[in-house]
Structure 1
Amino acid sequence: MASTEGLVPITRAYLSSYYDRYPVVPLSDDVAAISSQLRSLISDFCSQSSLTQDEKVVADEVDREPPHKIDENMWKNRENLEEIIYLLDRSQWPATLQQQAVEDPELAPALDQLKDKFEKSLKTLQYFQAKNADFVFSTVMSYMPQDFRGTLIRQQKERSERSKQAEVDALVKSGCSIRDRYALLWRQQMERRRQLAQLGSATGVYKTLVKHLVGVPQVLLDFIRQINDDEGPMEEQRQRYGPPLYSLTKMIHTMRVFLFLLWACVGEQKLTADQLNILKQAAYLYTREFERFIVFIGEVFANSPFFISADEAGASGSRNDEYKEITIPAGKTHEVVLSVDSVNSYIAWDFALEQSKMKMDVGFSVEYTNPSGQNILILPYRRCESDQGNFCTVMAGSYKLIWDNSYSTFFKKVLNYKVDCIPPVVEPSPQQ
């Protein structure tokens, strides 16, 4: 189990300085130029050809803005790559094009070569996604206690992945479209995020582990709970590296729409040299730029930290801005009362005394007050200089965290602490 002693989760400010070491190389100006040419040709198709309703719907999608999240853009690129590979398969060529390929022996190999390039980019992307997912999970698990807790979570992940794959297989067997399959894949990706957040909250599918989670570093739970927040640290990543990826997402989507409409119009007339040329230019440019971006962002992700020292985070002492600092006078106590509305809520704490020349400690305990006013001891009293822990509530009501300095006659204690009360994560119903 890797140590998190003295560490806090990465902050957006730290990521900004970290990303300064990895400046993104601008995309070729040809990306915008060729994307513009493709949109112009799509506009010509719409004005000069009698498109079906379905074809018009696809054409109207060309100006759709890419999603904001990095990983969702990756899935959109993957979806469009598969759509293009499907269209370039010889079995999907319009009859007019197949006849033209018989007359022109260089046409079929040229289109096959484009298909091969898109397939190579797809494999590169699939490898990147799998490697990045394994890296995140393995890094999280390296901070888990190396006992049955980690084993149970790994088993839960394996069962979940088998279930997800079975769901995809069943959808494919039913004859779904590529778009339908990727809609499911993205929903599953969001489910993985939800499960990661549940690990941080100790609820939902991980509720059987709750009573055993004492010993899991609080800093880890804090990290996995906030890693994908819309305005969290990863927003810096989106601001820094999103724009070039958004341009590539729009380019591959525009190519897919262009090829879809081109195949529809080839039924009326042959594929022209200009049309084939722009398709070649777009394919070679996109695959080169996209694979370059994947290699670059893979290096950024592989070296990106999860945790940093409090000093690097710009914290005071050993705590960040979320922590409170209070002074407990000699002979006094400090209490924090939390009102819990729902059972299976998650209460967590992290605290430490300010360091001094003398070794000091403080008493700490947690109590529950039932509706009749009776106090029930949840965490027995003990004296320590720091502690982090958590538990899942089995009763709604009032919980009191108590720091005790009543036994001290002369010395005050300066305490940095953070307390969280997280409501349970509601699992979706099977029908959703």
Structure 2
Amino acid sequence: MASTEGLVPITRVFLASYYDKYPFSPLSDNVSRLTAQIRSISDDLSNDFPLDQEETLLASEAAEQPPNKIDENFWKNREQIEEIIFLLESSNWPDLVRKQGTADDAHLAGLFGQWKERFQKTLKTLQFFQSRNSEFVFNMVMTYMPQDFRGTLIRQQRERSERNKIAEVDAVVNSGGSIRDRYALLWRQQMDRRRQLAQLGSATGVYKTLVKYLVGVPQVLLDFIRQINDDEGPMDEQRRRYGPPLYSLTKMVLNIRLLLSLSLRHFETRKLEREQITVLEEAVDVYTSEFERFVEFLGEVFANSPFFITAEAAGAMGGENNDYREISVSAGRTYEVSLTVESINSYIAWDFSLVQGKINMDIGFSLEYIDSSGQKMMILPYKRYEADQGNFCTCMTGNYKLIWDNSYSSFFKKVLRVKVDCIPPVSDSATSETELQGSD
């Protein structure tokens, strides 16, 4: 188990500084130019031929602003790439192209084959990127987990859950589900992974059966996995920095698919003109090359990105975690934190350590419950610590008090670095399986 002593999760300010070292070279101007040209050709076709239901949905999606999440855009690109590969299967070619009766038809058949190979290569690049990032985040989390039955149990649960997810996808495919249906399921599964990751960070939800064992898990790790996907958290800096070029590529691939769909469906009535084919050919080349460049670039950024930094580094950049406070407890005095718990199965969590003092200096710590009549019940008996991390699942609503006691000291004050959380209960997932996997 790797040590997290003295570490805090990455902050948005720190990530901004880190990303300054990795500026992304702007996309080629051809991306916006070709996207506009392709959309114009599609609009001309749709004016003459009514769109079917799927094409109407696709046209609407291509005209809208792409989603703002990095990983959601990657899944959207992956879906469209697979749809395009399907369209380019020879079985979906117009009869004239399959027969290759003319030189133009033979040329177009050759282009279709080349485009399919380009998109297959791009798909493999994206699949590798997503798989590697998922394993990287999970393995990083497990590095800081206690290397005993707790880590083994979580690994086994994850493997079992992933097998179940694969079976769900297979069931959709075997029942005749479309590529869109399959990716709708894949995205729901990705959201399940996020929720499960947050639940582990909060030690709640489907992890409530493990919570009494999670005291040995570093609090900094729980903080990190709870906040990693927050909309306003550190990863929002990633979206702000690298989202715009990805959004442009998402719009481009949606429009490429729309034009291909319209062109193939109406090929017998109106063949694409040579100039239009040239535009589409250039668009395929620009999209696949620029998308692969972006994926490879972001892979390097992710591979080198830190997840934890020292508290000193965070503070030096103005990004120290405000949840932690330094408290001076004078000799002969106590420091108390009172919490009002409104829901049972909430979690009271603490993380504290002495940040100055002599060798072997410690401080008393206890946790008690006060009922409506003022009666006290000891939850965690008094004990002296140099540092401690832990959490407690509440079985009663009401007032709780955490007490740090320096009353036994006659001369020395104690300086605490302390964090206290009261985490409301998280609803269980519909499935009893649990797992971990990273995202954006």
Q: What TM-score results when the alignment is normalised by the length of structure 1?
A: 0.94
1:158: how far off? 1.0
Q: Name the % identity.
A: 65
CA 1:231–1:319: 2 relative to 1, 3 Å: closer
**Pairwise CA distance, 1:73:** 0.6
Map 1:239-318 onto structure 2 (within 5 A): 239-314=240-315
AA paired with 1:303? N
- 1:410 counterpart letter in structure 2: F
Q: Which residue of 2 aligns with 1:28?
A: 28
Question: What residue ranges of structure 1 are gaps of 5+ in the alignment?
Answer: none
Pair 1:320–1:105, CA change in 2 (3 A): closer
Give the Å deviation of 1:248: 0.8
Structure 2 residue identity aligned to 1:250: K
Opposite residue 44 of structure 1, the aligned amino acid is D
Q: Is 1:408 equivalent to 2:426 in the alignment?
A: no
Task: Indicate yes or no: 2:413 matched with 1:417.
Answer: no
1:120-199 matches, cutoff 5 A: 120-199=121-200
Aligned to 2:89: 89
Within 5 Å, which residues of 2 pair with 1:347-366? 347-356=348-357, 360-366=361-367
Distance 1:318 1:297, change over 3 A: closer
> Is this contact kept in 1: 2:2–2:143, CA < 8 A?
yes
Contact 1:97–1:271 (Cα < 8 Å) also in 2? no
Q: Is the 8 A contact 1:97 1:270 kept in 2?
A: no
Q: Which residue of 2 aligns with 1:10?
A: 10
Partner of 2:436: none
- Name the counterpart of 2:438: none
Change (3 A) 1:405 1:121: same
Q: Tell me by how many angstroms 1:355 deviates.
A: 1.2
2:338–2:399 Cα contact (<8 Å) kept: yes
Question: After alignment, is 61-70 or 44-53 more displaced?
Answer: 44-53
Structure 1 distance, partners of 2:318, 2:52, is: 67
For the residue of structure 1 that corresponds to 2:314, the secondary structure is coil
Name the structure 2 match of 1:37.
Answer: 37
Matched AA of 1:25: S
Hey, what's the Cα distance between the residues in 2 that align with 1:317 and 1:93?
59
Q: How far apart in 2 are the matches of 1:53 and 1:18? A: 45
Q: What's the CA shift for 1:142? A: 0.2
What CA distance in whole angstroms lies between the structure 2 residues aligned with 1:70 and 1:236? 11
- Matched residue SS, 1:37: helix
What amino acid maps onto 2:163 in structure 1? R
Alpha-carbon distance in 2 for matches of 1:355, 1:205: 39
The 5-angstrom pairing of residues 218-257 of structure 1 reads: 218-257=219-258
Q: Distance in 1 between matches of 2:151 and 2:64?
A: 42
Structure 1 pair 122/319, CA: closer, same or farther in 2 (3 Å)? closer
AA of the residue aligned to 2:18: Y
1:347-367 C-alpha deviation (Å, 9 max, x unpaired): 111122331456532111112
Question: Which SS does the other structure have where 1:213 is aligned?
Answer: helix
Distance of 1:201 and 1:60 partners within structure 2: 39
Say if 2:97 and 2:108, in contact at 8 Å, map to a contact too. Answer: no
Residue 374 of structure 1: CA displacement? 4.0
Map of 1:393 onto structure 2:
394
Moved more, 151-160 or 264-273: 264-273
Residues 53 and 309 of structure 1: CA distance in aligned 2, closer, same or farther (over 3 Å): closer
Cα deviation for residue 308 of structure 1 reads: 0.1
Q: Name the structure 2 match of 1:98.
A: 98
If asked which structure has higher relative contact order (CA below 8 Å, sep 6+), I would say: 2
Task: Work out the CA distance in 1 between the residues paired with 2:119 and 2:277.
Answer: 16
**Aligned counterpart, 1:49:** 49
Q: TM-score if structure 2 supplies the norm length?
A: 0.93
Q: Spell out, residue by residue over 1:48-99, the C-alpha distance to the aligned partner (whole angstroms, 9 max, x if none).
A: 3344455344333321211101100100000000010010111112334434
Q: Distance in 1 between matches of 2:230 and 2:41?
A: 39
- Cα distance in 2, alignment partners of residues 161 and 191 from structure 1: 11
Shift of 1:427: 2.3
Q: Which AA in structure 1 matches 2:293?
A: R
Cα separation, 1, equivalents of 2:363 and 2:319? 17
User: By how many angstroms is 1:195 displaced?
Assistant: 0.4
Q: Per the alignment, in what secondary structure is the counterpart of residue 348 of structure 1? A: strand
CA displacement at 1:295 relative to structure 2: 0.8
Q: Which residue of 2 aligns with 1:67?
A: 67
**Conserved 8 A contact 2:14-2:319:** no
133-142 or 204-213: bigger deviation: 204-213
Aligned length in residues = 430
* Pairwise CA RMSD: 2.1
Q: In the alignment, is the contact (CA less than 8 A) between 1:87 and 1:260 conserved in 2?
A: yes
Q: Provide the rounded CA distance (Å) in 1 between the counterparts of 2:234 and 2:143.
A: 21
DSSP 3-state at the match of 2:201: helix
Q: What is the DSSP-based 3-state SS (H/G/I as helix, E as strand, rest coil) of the residue aligned with 1:267?
A: coil
Structure 1 position 372, deviation (Å): 5.7
Give the 3 Å change call, closer, same or farther, for CA 375–261 of structure 1 in structure 2.
same
